[in-house]
Chain A
């Protein structure tokens, strides 16, 4: 039963973190620096989370690099999210089968 207590505590904590700003800020924030900060946050977080972690997803380092560079080039050229994501996934799977 205690395990369900833990699950409830973490679910409530995590939901509060998510819901408070979303319900509190019902008007647009006027402060320019804060707005700019919020604009940059998602891109910086995603970049930080992607690199260098992406290089460690396969055992063969060059295959991870090929997947990384392919995704970067495709995405920069505005190829759709679905194609970028599944394209580099398929490429990495094939390279591992052939060369791994």
Chain B
């Protein structure tokens, strides 16, 4: 009980509380929407190069919500490859969403109804997941819906703007808006690192290995999406074996 018992996300919240949680999700989702918009503009530009129409590019962004996956898909589509090749490439690139979905399944109320699970799953992206998992105690689906309701339009509109106006935005504004996205990542893992002493060296190690993987020419054959998967699996497994989380900290 204690902290873990709050925000159960089932029938126990009244409507007013659900509204509060939803609004908090929306507010936290604003930097995500901004960052998404920027990245998505570049997706729109790439989509134009791959000869997608504005409608196709926009529908793809609305139904897929995956930057790395969409970027990778353009080469496959432009090559006219078989559908199965596209499916396999998406599976590998987006495998981390599977890990995130596992983590999120442990964060919601075990009694959470099926339709909430179906709907929340659609919004599992790096950023929305990061926000959702860093909530104290049980995760209410309304928080995730709040974040989704601003982030998804940001992502979809960015693609549309990108494909319609290939290069009208000043570069300095684009790079600053990219900083907002990374600033949000940092604002998710650093406060947790302060509360859990083990996390700080793990985060430092993750960054160091990531930089090493990037710098060493031997790893050039591995795509950046694959590098993220390999490093995440290896470091998290090592950390779990060396520093198992005590049961009272499960709601970290």
Contacts and interface: CB of A to CB of B under 8 A. Distances in A.
> How many of chain A's residues touch chain B, expressed as a range?
35 or more
Contacts of B91: 13, 17
Interface of A: 2-7, 9-11, 13-15, 17-29, 32-54, 57-59, 64, 67-68, 71-72, 74-76, 78-82, 84-90, 92-93, 96-97, 100
Contact of B172 (A5, A42, A100): A100
A22 B27 contact: no
Query: B90, B91, B193, B202: which has the most chain A beta carbons within 10 Å?
Result: B90
15 contacts: A10-B70, A14-B69, A15-B122, A38-B106, A39-B245, A41-B103, A45-B96, A45-B232, A47-B189, A50-B207, A52-B214, A57-B178, A58-B175, A72-B186, A85-B31
Given A10-B60, A82-B28, A86-B34, 6 more contacts: A19-B101, A24-B105, A36-B245, A47-B206, A81-B28, A92-B176
Q: How many residues of B sit at the interface, in one of the four size bands?
A: 35 or more
B126 A9 contact: no
A88 B2 CA distance: 35
A97 B173 CA distance: 10
Contact of A6 (B77, B129, B172): B77
Contacts of A89: 34, 176-177, 179-180, 183
Contacts of B243: 36
B182 to A, nearest CB: 4
